[in-house]
Amino acid sequence: MKRKIISMSLIVSTTLILAGCSSSKPEVVAQPQAKNVILLIGDGMGFGQLEMARLLEYGTEGSLNMQKMENFAAVTTYSADNVVTDSAAAGTAIATGTKTNNKSVGIDSASNDLESISEALQAQGKSIGLVATAGVYDATPATFGSSVKKRSDKGEIVRDYYDAGWDVILGGGTKYFAPKKQNGVDMIKEFKAKGYTYVTTADELANVTDTDKLLGLFNYDQMTFAIDRDEEDEITEEPTLKEMTMKALDVLSQNKDGFFLMSEGSEIDGAGHGGDAAWSWKSAIEFDEAIKYALDWAEEHGNTLVIVTADHETGAMMPTEVFGRNLEAVRSQKKSTTEMAYKLKLNEKGTEFTLESIKEALAYGGIEITDEETEVIQAKLNMEYVGDSLRYNDYMIGSFLADKFGYTFINQGHYDGGNTYGHTGTWVPLFAEGVGSEKFEGVINNTDIKGLILEATQ
């Protein structure tokens, strides 16, 4: 099927109204139903992130796979208690069709449990799969399989997954399955006793056969960022988002009644929080490769609705004219701002990060800076945030890179002044293809998505 290309630089909505007169009663034609639904969510993915990824990967004349999908809409994202949503409230709106407060998962603003699209489609006899490059208990995937008052209740989210009996769960996160986080209960053993095949590496995942229940946890918490993987040195044995999506489709498609799969490219959001265009680019391309596989699968098998959208935008990231002159410099970056921040070292008195470690940290990321630029970064860094407490220091490096390479990024006052650390309230894109995809058009609310999916499947 030939797909049209939707320009990320200019989106024009045109409505053609065709009217005709007929004296006879129009024939009612039954609409086809979608047997399978594949929902792919780019966490933190706005129009700016997509345009930067397109330019860096393909140049001005190129296009992302998602741009070639048949139908397009824009989605508003505000939460019940804030003009800017977090992932928990946005995921809940998408999964349940109901607005809720930031930090809430699968419940409304009065703390009532909500039915997710996963539960509704499971009631139709469909298999259910959740895939994420974050911990599988992270806010967005959690909204499709859990109901908790706080997104931080990750141990409870894991127990909800166990009770729900979803068929495929793949991503990061042995941390909250472990006895230490589960009052002494080993939840991995519990899942295995319930009949789940359990895997921990890309090779194990690829070799899975003859199972209808699959749990794969490939990191202690979130999976290694795409930009930080070194395939040649085999630093990571983790699968890509595409590989996890492939296996999920293999397992779920065994069900004659169909399936629902939510697959999240989680780290676009992290790149937005870190102000990192190169990291955002690599993450968006990993996500787009998973989309390409899902579209090809759907075209081959038919009777499938594929939806691509985001929960919110993070970082107010957007290319400028200066960015267009620095594409090669951005492409030379080899590590995320988070990985660079890990390399920072305090002086003996603990009063500031050393100039030498700052320079070495950015060189580790493939970026050369002058002595003057090193001092600029040093003045921005916060000594309270070292090691695993990276909030602000990856942001500070990212804000320096934004100035150096010419892309916009949310300023420090707005970053510090909110509770989402860089989310924005801008509309986000939605692309759709397959059975029922024509229902997704114009400007819609994130709460409309569940209902439109159900319309396509019933």
Element (H, E) at 404: helix 393-405
Dihedral angle over CA of 59, 62, 67, 73, nearest 10: 60
% of the chain with per-residue pLDDT over 90: 86
Q: Could you give the domains of the chain? A: 36-317+421-457 (3.40.720.10), 332-407 (no CATH)
Residue 356: exposed, middle, or buried by beta-carbon count in 10 A (0-12, 13-18, 19+)?
Answer: exposed
The candidate with the shortest Cα–Cα distance to 155, out of 111, 96, 212, 105, is 105
The stretches of 194-336 forming alpha helices (DSSP H) are 202-206, 241-252, 267-273, 277-301, 321-324, 327-331
Give pLDDT tens digits for 209-252.
Answer: 999 999 999 999 999 999 999 755 555 799 999 999 999 999 99
Q: What's the confidence (pLDDT) of residue 5?
A: 52
Q: How far apart are CA 21 and CA 19, in angstroms?
A: 7
pLDDT computed for residue 23 by the predictor: 45
- Mean pLDDT, range 425-449, rounded to an integer: 98
Confidence band of 355 (pLDDT split at 50, 70, 90) = very high
Catalytic residues, by residue number, are 87
pLDDT in tens, 20-31: 444 455 554 557
Q: What average pLDDT does the segment 71-92 reach?
A: 98
Query: What is the model's pTM?
Result: 0.92
Q: What is the mean pLDDT of the chain?
A: 92
156-209 confidence digits (pLDDT tens): 999 999 999 999 999 999 999 999 999 999 999 999 999 999 999 999 999 999
- Residue 186 has what pLDDT? 98
Instruction: Give pLDDT, residue 286.
Output: 98
pLDDT of residue 377: 93
Give the model confidence (pLDDT) of 166-178 as tens digits. Answer: 999 999 999 999 9
Predicted pLDDT of residue 7:
53
- Please, which pLDDT band fits residue 98 given cuts at 50, 70 and 90? very high
